Amino acid sequence: MKMEYLDAFNYDAVHERAKYVLEHTKRLKPEAEKECLEWFDTHCAASKRTIEEAKSAIPGGVQHNLANNYPFALNCVKGEGAYLYDIDGNKYIDFIGAGGPSILGNNDPDVHDAVIKTLNTTGYLTGLYHEYEYKLAQKVKEFFPSVDKFRMMGSGSEACMAAIRAARAFSGKKNIVKLKGCYHGISDQLIYDIRYCDSKTSFAAGIPDECFGNISAVMVNDLNALEDRFKENEKNGGTACFIMEAMGQDSGVLPTTREYHKGVRELCDKYDVILIYDEVVTAFRLALGGAQEYFDTRADITVFGKVIAGGFASAGGFGGREDIMSVLTAGVAHIAGNKIVVGGTLTANPISCCAGYVTLCKLQKEDIPNKLNQAGIEFTRKLTDLANKYDIPAIISSTGSVLQIDLTGMKHVATFPEYSRDEQAAKRQFASARMTDFAMALAANGILTAGGNKTFLNYCSLDILDDAFEIYEKVFSMYA
């Protein structure tokens, strides 16, 4: 089957391709798999040893959820530009991008110098106001017309928690609706139906069932299902908010369409539901104004994370309409009432705000989002031709500089009702193993990706995409 270039806005075409990939998934040749595994043993001995040592103090030895752990995790000691380096001295093209925030590349010199200056003058934490808080908030407002006020938080998870709390406090309603499979952090309620469609409480160990009494999930791009849910909720406390990953599940593996964004906005207006865009990945990347500029729409509350501090820690935030944001106080509220409680010791620290402000200024000055988007489309087209050359069924698409290079279709399994529950479980297990193989083979040949298929371009990587293409060709040639 010769594959045509996939437009990420064309959900039907992506879905059709996914079915074919699920039914015709290819595997690494046994000799190629053996060669890759031997490479890890001979070239990554120090990583293997130190990760084993770490297991004595850290569950599983690894703490970051983006780490490729097969055959074992890599110990990264340096990040510079387009590359990451492990403790054994191996160099890798970084397509993980820490999940997206390293949009300028690793250890950008302009951000680095500004942070050092702030560190040498103000320090890293005071607990008091600093001018970079205002500068960063002003930049967010400049790029996002839907944001009248902005509040810095410590992470995307915290920002999502605060956003739904603000929506409930403002609206007086209690129910939350989300998209199936979308991830909005690790809070008790929002852990519902994450990772893949219809997972429901599969990832909710340690969370009482009653935490999910006021949250539900609907399928992406199905406006009828969303309206039906809003109608149902009207009978039981109303819908406070609809929260969605702006690109769709897992940064676009199940992509949203332009028409869906328009329809969602209309339905939220019709039923007086607060629309929350989770732009943890998309903000300032798809465009300076994030997915809202990219899809030409508007949210009531926008959640930010990751890139809001240029990749530095304690990064997240949310902003929105003046009236909704009025439920927040300056600092932490000490008077009981209808003001919500948010905060954190590390929130809006000078270092994170400085890094974020300098990052956003550089993205604007050098028109980086547009350059990344163009490169993402071109690279996706080339990889599609490459997959055809080696007769590899694949779902290869891009939403700007966020690429899906999927040789398994795993995240699509639950979208095909013709598969029984047992068939879904078997296909998901098989596809998950093949995704792990792909990530392992890429790493053994010099590319690190998030889970083997989700791929984030950064500004520095634009100069080495030809090198990356050669690695993908080598890995594709390993399949039978």
Which pTM value belongs to this model? 0.96
CA dihedral 129→134→140→144, nearest 10 degrees, is 120
HSE-CB at 383 with a 13 A cutoff on CA atoms is 29
Task: Give the CA distances from residue 398 to residues 219, 248, 453, in Å, rounded to whole numbers and listed in that order.
Answer: 21, 12, 11
Give all strands of the β-sheet with 91-94 in edge-to-edge order: 76-80, 83-86, 91-94, 447-448
Contact predicate 359/310, CB 8 Å = yes
CA 121 to chain centroid: 34
| Predicted pLDDT of residue 314 | 84
Residues in the chain predicted with pLDDT less than 70, given as ranges, are: 332-336, 452
Q: What is the SS3 assignment for 320?
A: strand
Condensed to tens digits (0 to 9), the pLDDT of residues 343-389 reads 888 899 999 999 999 999 999 999 999 999 999 999 999 999 999 99
Taking the C-alpha atoms of residue 250 and residue 99, their distance in angstroms, rounded to an integer, is 10
Contact predicate 238/171, CB 8 Å = yes
In 3D space, the residue among 218, 227, 292 whose CA is nearest the CA of residue 258 turns out to be 292
Contacts of 357 by beta carbon, 8 Å cutoff, 6+ apart: 132, 135, 136, 139
> What token pair was written down for 347?
């929130």
In 3D space, the residue among 107, 83, 109, 108 whose CA is nearest the CA of residue 95 turns out to be 83
| Predicted pLDDT of residue 289 | 98
Taking the C-alpha atoms of residue 398 and residue 376, their distance in angstroms, rounded to an integer, is 6
Place of tokens 């332009």: 258
| Predicted pLDDT of residue 452 | 62
CA 316 to chain centroid: 13
| Predicted pLDDT of residue 341 | 87
| Predicted pLDDT of residue 164 | 97
Q: Name the strand (E) or helix (H) holding 109.
A: helix 109-121
| Predicted pLDDT of residue 298 | 98
Judge if the upstream peptide bond of residue 417 is cis by omega within 30 degrees of 0.
no
Taking the C-alpha atoms of residue 128 and residue 65, their distance in angstroms, rounded to an integer, is 32
